[in-house]
């Protein structure tokens, strides 16, 4: 187990499921306010995710079907071809991505691989070359037990429903459940 710190502390443990979230650069309102009472890390994550789901301003390049498809393809490629992780669940939302995976490589390498290739490709598609695409850093949470694994899996797959994008999770094409239902 390796501990490292950027803006947030990270614990890197390969062969153990991890819940990952990363978001687009400038995807949250700059003057967002959180409750003044101390929040647990889980409460802070929920508040941030709700903000991402409800935000109607800021960057939402992942609404562009070709870009969401490209990110989805990269997630699948890094799992099946590069073997960087076993992929359990994912969703590409309009301004962020959630993924549940069991890493076979160090998390910094996994995230750098995913974010750098998708940022380069997306910026080329959007004619924004040289501009930040992803926000620096990411959120990661080591899964502690099977019940938590199942809860996170459901959380990821139901995210488009909670955000009001679809009525049924299987209707959302940019998720593991939507991808599976389309074959």
For 126-162, how does the pLDDT look when each residue is reduced to its tens digit (9 = 90+)? 999 788 999 998 889 999 999 999 999 999 999 999 9
- Going by C-beta distance under 8 Å and a sequence separation of 6 or more, which residues neighbour residue 169? 157, 158, 160, 161, 175, 177, 178
Which pTM was predicted? 0.83
Is residue 3 one of the residues assigned to a domain? no
Sign of CA dihedral 174, 78, 20, 102: positive
| Total domains in the fold of the chain | 1
pLDDT at 4 over 50: no
Residue 31 lies in a domain: no
Residue 111 domain flag: yes
Q: Is residue 143 part of a domain?
A: yes
Task: Please check whether residue 117 is in contact with residue 20, taking contact to mean a CB–CB distance below 8 angstroms.
Answer: no
- With respect to residue 138, please indicate whether it lies within any of the assigned structural domains: yes
Residue 30 lies in a domain: no
pLDDT, one tens digit per residue, over 44-99 is 667 666 767 676 667 889 999 999 999 999 999 999 999 999 999 999 999 999 99
């Amino acid at each position: 187990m390796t501990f490292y710190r950027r803006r947030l502390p990270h614990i890197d443990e390969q062969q153990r499921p991890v819940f990952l979230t990363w978001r687009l650069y400038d995807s949250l309102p700059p003057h967002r306010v959180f409750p003044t009472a101390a929040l647990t890390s889980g409460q802070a994550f929920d508040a941030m995710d709700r903000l991402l789901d409800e935000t109607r301003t800021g960057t939402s390049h992942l609404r562009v079907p070709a870009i969401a498809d490209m990110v989805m393809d990269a997630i699948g490629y890094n799992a099946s071809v590069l073997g960087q992780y076993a992929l359990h669940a994912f969703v590409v939302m309009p301004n962020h991505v959630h993924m549940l995976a069991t890493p076979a490589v160090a998390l910094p390498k996994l995230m750098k691989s995913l974010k750098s290739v998708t940022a380069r490709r997306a910026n080329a598609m959007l004619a924004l070359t040289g501009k930040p695409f992803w926000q620096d850093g990411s959120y990661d949470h080591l899964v502690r037990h099977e019940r938590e694994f199942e809860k996170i899996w459901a959380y990821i797959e139901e995210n488009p429903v909670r955000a009001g994008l679809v009525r049924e999770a299987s209707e959302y094409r940019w998720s593991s459940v939507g991808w599976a239902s389309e074959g």
